[in-house]
Structures are given as C-alpha cells and as structure tokens.
A and B are shown apart, each in its own frame.
Chain A
Amino acid sequence: MPNAPEPAQTAREQRPRRVTIDPEGPLLVEGPVEVVGDDGRVIASRRFTAAICTCRRSRTYPWCDTSHRRRVRRDENAPPDAEPETGTDARTTTRTGKDHDQDSEGEESTDAR
C-alpha cells in the first residue's frame, strides 16, 4: 500500500457526498449520516451507504426496510408477475407501514414520526 494516508483522507473528506435518487425506492446517501426527524430526534447510521425511506411505510423509519415493494397475491401456480390485487401494490396503497402484514403487532415499530 502506498505510504500516503493523509492526502487520501483529505480527498475523501472533501469529496461531495453522493445521494442517489430512485423514484421507486429509497434515497441512497453515502454514510455516515444523521437524520433529524420532525420531532427533533436524531438517528445516526455509520453504514457506508444509508437507504432512507421515501415511501413512509418503513417499520424501521427513517431507514428503508423494503416495505415499498410491490405486493402480489400469488395463486399456487400463477406466474410471479401476476396482476397485483387492488390495494396491495405498495406504490398505490395509502396504508401506513404498521398494518400490512397480516399479523403485524406494531409494537416493534421504530417509526420515528
């Protein structure tokens, strides 16, 4: 390894933080990040990239937990891309994240809102 830790470190610190937008998924932000909720609570992630929930359905809000995914009713032998049932599509439903598992108790939610 070349013996020049200092310039490399400086370059990293000065590098603009990249945010990647996906209209159908979370916001990807290079970490570490702190997210401030509207109640003033600060939640930090040290991960190399944080996926920030934009669908507001995550049960680990503000972090994505893939709750934005499309939900389909699968018949035994139906093709996997079968038409989603009305109201089960994560992009069109208005339900909050707490109730879309059949047995969700909600008590484990870390929803910061």
Chain B
Amino acid sequence: MFFELALRNVQVNRKRSVITLLLGTLSTALLVFSSAWMDGSHQQMLKSAVENYSGYIQITGEDFRENPSFEHLIFDLDSLQEMVAEDNEVDVLTPRFESFVLYSVGEKGVGGMLTGIDPEKESMVSRLHASLKEGEYLSRGDTNQLYIGNELAHRLHVTIGDEVAFVGSGADYSFAADMLIVKGIFQTGLFEFDASSAFLAKPYFDMIMAADNMATHVIVLPKNTAQADALAGKLGEEIGAEYQCASWLQTMAPLVKSMKLDSVFGYITLAIIFTVIFFVVMIYTLLAVFARIREIGIMRAVGTTPRQIVTLLLFESSMLGFISVCVGGLIGAAFAWYFSLHPMVFAGMEEQFKQYGLAVSAIPTAFEPVTILRDMLVMFVLLLLSTLYPILHVNRYQPIEAIHHV
C-alpha cells in the first residue's frame, strides 16, 4: 500500500520529483565518473610506471633488493626460469642482469647502468622496445651492440654507430671492459632512467661479464595483471627462500602511496561538492513536504500515525533516490566506459605526469562495476539522509496546525 501511495505522490508532485531526480542523477553520474577518472588516472600512472621498465613481478636473489650486490644474484637462472614457467598464470618471464659500469667516450667518463636483457622477451614485459627513438632495437644475436638512453647518449656525446667503451666488473668480480657500438637510442621520458641506462643482448653480456646462467632479476608478466600480487605470493612460496619475489605493489610502494595521496584530495573535493548537493536535495524535499503539509495534516487527522507518514515519505524519497541513482549510475558508467576505450589525451602536461613516472599523456578512465555500485550506494544513502530532516521536521506539527499552515 505504501508503495502505491508513494508512487502516486511522486507522480503528482512532479516538480519536486523532477528536480530531485535530476540532482540525484547528476551527482551520481558525477561521482561515478570522477571515481572512474581518479582510479583510471592512478591506474594508468601505475601501469605506465610498472610497464615502463620495472615489471609486475620481480624475482631477485634473497636480500638483493635491500643490498644489491653480486653476492645476492640469481645463480641458477635456468632452473629458476623452469620452475617459474611451470606456473599456468605466468605469461612471459625474462631475465635481466644489471650492473654498474663506467662508460667512457674520449676523455669523458660517466657512471651508469649496463643491463643484459633478452631482447624479444623484454619487449613483451616492458616498454623498452616501444621507447625506441632512433636506430634499432636489439635482437638476440647481437654482439657488442648497445641500446642506450637518450640523455645518456647526450652526456656521452654519441649517436647511432658511435663507439662507447665501458669498464666494470663481471659477476665473478673479474675485470670487464668492452667497446660497444650504439645500435639504438631510446627515450622513455623518465629523465633519470634515460640518463643512466643502456642495454645489451644477454648472451653477449653474459660472455663479457661472466654472467652465464646468472641474473639480478627475473621479470614476470602474469596472464592476469590484476592478480600480480597474489601470483607473486604464490611464486614466492614455490621458488623457495633462496629467492625473493615481489609484486609491483612492493617495488613501486612510494608511487602507490602517492596515488593514495592524490585520492585523498580527490575525495575531499568531492565531499565539498556533495555537501552542497546534500543541502540542495534537503531544500527541495523540505519544499515538497511543506507544499503537502495540509495533506499530511488531514492524513494525521483521519488517523494515520506519524510513523506511517514518515514511512510513506521515506518510501517516496527512496523511490526517487533509487531511480536517480540508477539513471545517474548508468550515465556515469557509460561515460566511464566510453573514456576507458577512448582515453582522454592531455598534451602538454607531460612534465607533470613524468613526476609520477608517467611517460604518456593519454589517460583512460577505469571502468569497474564494483566501484560504480559502491558509488551508487553511497549516493543513495546520501540522498536518503538529505531528506531525513525535512521529513522528521514536518511531523513536529500538530495535525490541526498543519492543516492551517500557509
């Protein structure tokens, strides 16, 4: 009975209904979209930082992350790789051997990282290949061919085809040196990385650095990247205490933290907007309820209890709230979905993004049904709460008072 009555009332009080609906819909759409945008931009930043180089899962020798010395290498790369590859959830895995060397060209010497990689597999787990700027990417059979960061190339004053000498130490601490030829120049957009890194194909690297069957890292790309953390935990147990297995949540902890920080600001801003919306809905409910104060007075006079009236009014609000949350949720979701497929491009903001380790300027929204439902629920509760005061307020009037209210 309440339901039908409420429905009728909603239809009769069209103005109030329309505006409440409109506001509810708008704010729900806004909330859903802003969350999708915020989450999306954060995910994109993390994804980009993760996929740029560091990878979803890093396996290292025990203690290597705290103390990256050649004492804590992966010493039996082949059997580790076999073990990891057995897991069905692993898509691609690739080894890296990072070492600190001195690059030298002419009189100039610059310290930097020299890393041995498997070129084909590396291009599947990171954006190294995609960041090619000039020349060519590495291939597995390459010998002394170097893939060098743009800023490092600048610092050494070299370009494609030029020679770069390096000295460093091999995995067995022996002396290592070679003359390398620049084959390709990359630019990920992350200054520090581009100013200090260069790569060699691992087979050749292993030969000159005495690093055969050894690595500093094994990078794992999970089939389902969303499950990286769980997979890292699982792999960690499978491969034993000799190794350390960390997901990007650990390797990129500061970035994850900074994203949370950004969300804090986002939600504070939304909270301010919602406070205003809360008031507006409250005002409209108040107006609507008072427009019907005589009606309510008569109902009370003929024996309807205050409780029943509150129930009826709440039914009305819930109905309006429900409809607007649904419609708004759908609209917000539609936008979230559209922009997740067609990312917004922010040209000219690269510098700002680079701070966050983000080297691209297109940002897709995150289309996540669970988050959307959560936001819809939050909005529904908010809408309902905002009608509470007017509804309770009207019941303070005595029936006769109400009937005579002008």
| Chains A and B are bound partners | no
List residues of chain A with CB under 8 Å of any chain B CB. none
List residues of chain B with CB under 8 Å of any chain A CB. none
